[in-house]
Amino acid sequence: MTTDTALEIAGHSFSSRLIVGTGKYASYKQNAEAARAAGAEMVTVALRRVNWSNPDEERLQDALTPSEFTYLPNTAGCFTADDALRTLRLAREAGGWSLVKLEVLADQKTLYPDMEETLSAAKALIKDGFDVMVYCSDDPVYARKLEDVGCCAIMPLGSLIGSGLGIQNPLNIRLIVEQARVPVIVDAGVGTASDAAIAMELGCDGVLMNTAIAEAQAPILMASAMKHAVIAGRQAYLAGRMGRRLYADPSSPLAGLI
Amino acid sequence: MQIFLNGEACEVEANSTLLTLVLSLGADPRGIAIERNLEIVPKSEHASTILQPDDHLEIVQFVGGG
């Protein structure tokens, strides 16, 4: 049986190809259980003002410790390159990590990435020493430009953030995979396990998801389903699927029929 | 004297340092980052940075996010 290689991103090595978010859960405790059930080694985190009014508020870092999970600070909520740079510089100071997820959004309604601002921010961050995993549209041309400026992972959307609509343009995802020399990770849009499997069958190196697990009726069970879906999709990709035929091809021998 | 902390006006004693401010607020100094007048102040300088009137501080930490 073909054994899989590790997922390598900017010198970090991961055996899990599923990255999970830490938003929208009932509690950080449930979040941590889901991340473990997903087999995730990396979690995305956001950076926000300290809430002085409630000092007893549970802290992310108590439930999901940076020693158990690699933190991937994001720039969610940033709509300009400058906002994203400011946020990630603070994240690097807070955590000491230079591996980050860049996302620069265009508008609140779609949270679609603003690719012009994203490319500009990616260049500035890489110049400043960051390892940039970049959330992007499923445009193969911009994906190539982001790789050319030095992004360490290309993360196209399957569909809009939080939509659960799956991979709307598998052709584009495949085109991005074909040309990429860095890992391609579908980020956003996964709704259920089959979506994750499809991403992996297309040859993606990993999947990043949040809402599909957090908003499932039973998040821990869905996290486990996603773990298996990513593994199944990856193995199917490595195995190489059969060709498609228009007509039937019998599996039982035609010779010796009575 | 008055400073601005996370967007809100706030009174602090003159000659307070960043570290004394953080400790007085009850924040866990681990895992936070501080920006003072749009410049990041490294953790190693929190104890030696003396606040000035009208300083604008942003004190942030990691929270859940996708």
Per-residue pLDDT reduced to its tens digit, A131-188: 999 999 999 999 999 999 999 999 999 999 999 999 999 999 999 999 999 999 999 9
pLDDT for A1 beyond 60: no
Contact A50/B62, CB-based, under 8 Å? no
Q: Do B62 and A60 touch (CB under 8 A)?
A: yes
pLDDT for A254: 87
Query: pTM for this one?
Result: 0.91
pLDDT above 90 (res A190): yes
- Residues of A numbered 20-59 whose beta carbons fall under 8 angstroms of chain B's beta carbons: which are they? 21-25, 28, 31, 44-50, 52, 55, 59
Q: Is the ipTM of this complex over 0.85?
A: yes
Reported as half-sphere exposure (CB side, CA atoms, 13 A), residue A73 has a value of: 27
Q: Tens digits of per-residue pLDDT, A195-209?
A: 999 999 999 999 999
For testing the chain B interface, which of A50, A69, A74 should be mutated: the one with the most B CBs within 10 Å?
Answer: A50
Least confident of A37-41, A144-148, B42-46: B42-46
**Number of residue pairs across A and B with CB atoms under 8 Å?**
96
Say how far apart CA B25 and CA B57 lie, in whole Å.
13
Whether A23 and B65 lie within 8 Å, measured CB to CB: yes
> Which active-site residues of A does the annotation give?
101
pLDDT at A54: 75
Q: Which of B5, B7, B31 sits opposite A94 (nearest CB)?
A: B31
Contact A23 B35 (CB under 8 A): no
What is the SS3 assignment for A161?
coil
Chain B residues whose beta carbon lies within 8 Å of the beta carbon of residue A98: none
Can you give the pLDDT at residue A2? 59
Strands A206-209, A18-20: pairing kind: parallel
Closest-CA residue in chain A for B29? A94
Does the beta carbon of A94 lie under 8 angstroms from any beta carbon of chain B?
A: yes
Is A108 strand, coil or helix? coil
In terms of CA atoms, which chain A residue is nearest residue B5? A49
What is the amino acid identity at position B51?
L
Averaged pLDDT score across all residues of chain A: 94
> Are A76 and B64 in contact (CB < 8 Å)?
no
Residue A56 confidence (pLDDT): 73
pLDDT, average across residues B20-26: 86
Residue of B nearest to A91 (CA): B33
Closest B-chain CA to A93:
B33
**Whole-number pLDDT of residue A170:** 97
Evaluate if residue B28 carries a pLDDT over 80: no
The amino acid sitting at B9 is A
Cβ-defined contact of A48 to B26 (cutoff 8 Å) = no
What one-character DSSP code corresponds to residue A50? Answer: -
**Who contacts A96 (Cβ-Cβ below 8 Å, separation ≥6)?**
none
Task: Kindly determine whether residue A52 and residue B25, on different chains, have CB atoms separated by under 8 Å.
Answer: yes
Closest CA relative to residue A129, chosen from A150, A107, A105, A153: A150
Spell out the residues 6+ positions from residue B40 whose beta carbon is closer than 8 angstroms to its own.
A89, A90, A93, B33, B34
Greater confidence, A112 or A61?
A: A112
pLDDT confidence of residue B66: 84
* Residue of B5, B42, B66 with shortest CB distance to A210: B66
Q: Which residues from A are below 8 Å from B59, CB to CB?
A: 49-50
Q: With the C-alpha atoms ordered A107, A112, A116, A118, is the resulting torsion angle positive or negative?
A: positive
Highest mean pLDDT among A49-53, A147-151, B11-15 belongs to: A147-151
